[in-house]
Structure 1
Amino acid sequence: MTLILGANQYGKAESRVVRIVRDTARHEIRDLNVSTSLRGDFADAHTTGDQANVLPTDTQKNTAFAYAKLHGVDSIEDYALALGNRLLEATPAAAQAQVRVEEYAWDRLGDHSFVRRGGGVRTAVVTVTRSATHVVSGVRDLVLLNSTDSEFKGFLTDEFTTLPETDDRILATALVARWRHGTTDGVDWNKSYAAGLDTLLQTFAGTYSRALQETLHAMGTALLESQPDLAEVRFSAPNKHHFLVDFGGFRVDGLTNDGEVFIAADRPYGLIEAEVIRDDAPPAGDAWLAVPGFC
């Protein structure tokens, strides 16, 4: 029997890079969580301990910080592209460099004062190889809720089914959405992200939902129709269940619950995952490599 080394990669995870732009009295802030990884001919590091081809993870971390100043952070996609290309250039044995970036948003209180925003986290995954470059943009932890215009009925039942049908329920989720760009040439990353996020929000708010699956499909369709350069979008959406509180056992005259008071259930939860793909889109290649979960 012969044992061989399989697929492997290494890198520096979750470097917290905060870039303050102080060129004027009115400062700007970009708050990032940066992870890098390299794949390639690193077998000797595993089999013999020879590190000659290995760019240390500490160097990857230092490069992430240095490029926040040297290249700047106009957008997380642009920053990740520059960082990925630099790591590939600095590591001849590497066939691929991947940079994953999360951005935490801050709202301005003054010229140099900010408050951390509680909304979704912007994300980007950039994969750079010797022959191709892929960019996946997105958002996670985007908490959405429709208090009506949602139903769930007509579903399959068996002897264990206890869920009642409803034609008026709360629809809520903490959405993860990621969309793959079909090109990296001439993209205004910030404009594309802002427009994409707005399309998702407006579609969620404006769609009557017979199921969370239908809502996700509508959101994905609207996103791809609004930005022809996008190849596909993937969703992971936990169904944040809200159950009507039963006041029937309370000894309070006239106390009724007419769809007004709910228990927000933490777990277990339904998890809906889906993708919408443009049928003429360029192939994904390694774009989704090491992207956590379904998306």
Structure 2
Amino acid sequence: MAIVLGRNRYGKAETRLVHVRRGGDSHELVDLNVSVALSGDLAATHLSGDNAGVLPTDTMKNTVYAFAREHGVGAPEAFGLLLARHFVTTQPQISGAEVTLEAYGWERLGPHSFRRSGDHVRTAVVTVAEHGTQVVSGLKDLVLLNTTDSEFHGYPRDRYTTLPETTDRILATAVAARWRHLGDAAGWDESFAGAKQALVGAFVETYSYSLQQTLYAMGERVLRDRPEIAEIRLALPNRHHYLVDLSPFGLDNPQEVFQAGDRPYGLIEGTVTRDDVPAAGAEWYL
């Protein structure tokens, strides 16, 4: 039996970068978490400890900061592309680079004052490799809730089923979504804003008989509204809200008082895709 080295990569994870663009009296603020992973001809360091082809991870961290100064920081997708292409083109032993970014929002309060905006985290994963370039944008922790227009019934029952059917429930979730672009396009910020708007709009406007139905409606809306997006993957945890029994206190409860459940929770995941677009050039996940 032969034992061989399988797929591998290495990099610098979670480099925190805050960039202030001082254009006169009004400043711009960008807040990123950047992770870099490189792959290629790295067998020697694994098999014999030869580090001739191992660019130090500290150098990757320094490159993130230096690029922020030399090139500025715009959309996370654009900054990720700059970094990924740099590592592949300047390191002959490296054939693939993946840059993962999280962007944290800040709300302007004045010319140089900001307040953290926490309704979601913007994400991007940029992959540059021999098979081409792939950009996956997304978001996570986008909490949405409908107080009605949601049902759940008609499901199979067995001896362990205790969940009552309902024709009126709270539907709440914390959206995690990632969408793959058809190419290296400009207008990343506008594309992201449009995709987010489509996700929220579909959630609001869909009368839901299942969270799966809502997931598909959200993905379908994104693809219909955003022609630059090839496919979208969503993970929707079902944030359960349980009607509280107030009868011991002589009170009714006409769908007004709920307990917000923490865990366990249902988790609905799915992909909505165009049937006429090329397959992904690299693996990508939620």
Q: TM-score, normalising length from structure 1?
A: 0.95
Tell me the equivalent position of 1:224.
223
Tell me the equivalent position of 1:93.
93
Moved more, 205-214 or 129-138: 129-138
Query: What displacement does 1:71 show?
Result: 1.7
Tell me the equivalent position of 1:39.
39
- Contact map agreement 2:133 2:281 (CA 8 A) in 1: no
Q: Secondary structure at the match of 2:110?
A: coil
Query: What displacement does 1:39 show?
Result: 0.8
Determine what percentage of the aligned residue pairs are the same residue. Answer: 53
Query: What displacement does 1:2 show?
Result: 2.0
- Contact map agreement 2:73 2:79 (CA 8 A) in 1: yes
Tell me the equivalent position of 1:263.
259
1:104-131 Cα shifts (integer Å, max 9, x gaps): 0010111111111121100000000134
* Structure 1: gaps (5+ residues): none
Query: What displacement does 1:10 show?
Result: 0.2
Tell me the equivalent position of 1:243.
242
- Alpha-carbon RMSD across the aligned residues, in angstroms, is 1.0
Matched, 1:275 2:271: yes
Q: TM-score, normalising length from structure 2?
A: 0.98
Query: What displacement does 1:287 show?
Result: 4.8
Tell me the equivalent position of 2:29.
29
Query: What displacement does 1:72 show?
Result: 1.6
- Contact map agreement 1:200 1:223 (CA 8 A) in 2: yes
Higher strand share: 2
Matched, 1:193 2:189: no
* Structure 2: gaps (5+ residues): none
- Runs of 4+ in structure 1 deviating by more than 3 angstroms, as ranges, are none
Write the mapping of 1:5-84 to structure 2, written as runs, cut at 5 A: 5-84=5-84
Tell me the distance in 2 between the aligned counterparts of 1:72 and 1:240: 39
Tell me the distance in 2 between the aligned counterparts of 1:155 and 1:231: 32
- Contact map agreement 1:17 1:33 (CA 8 A) in 2: yes
- For 2:215, the aligned partner's letter is L
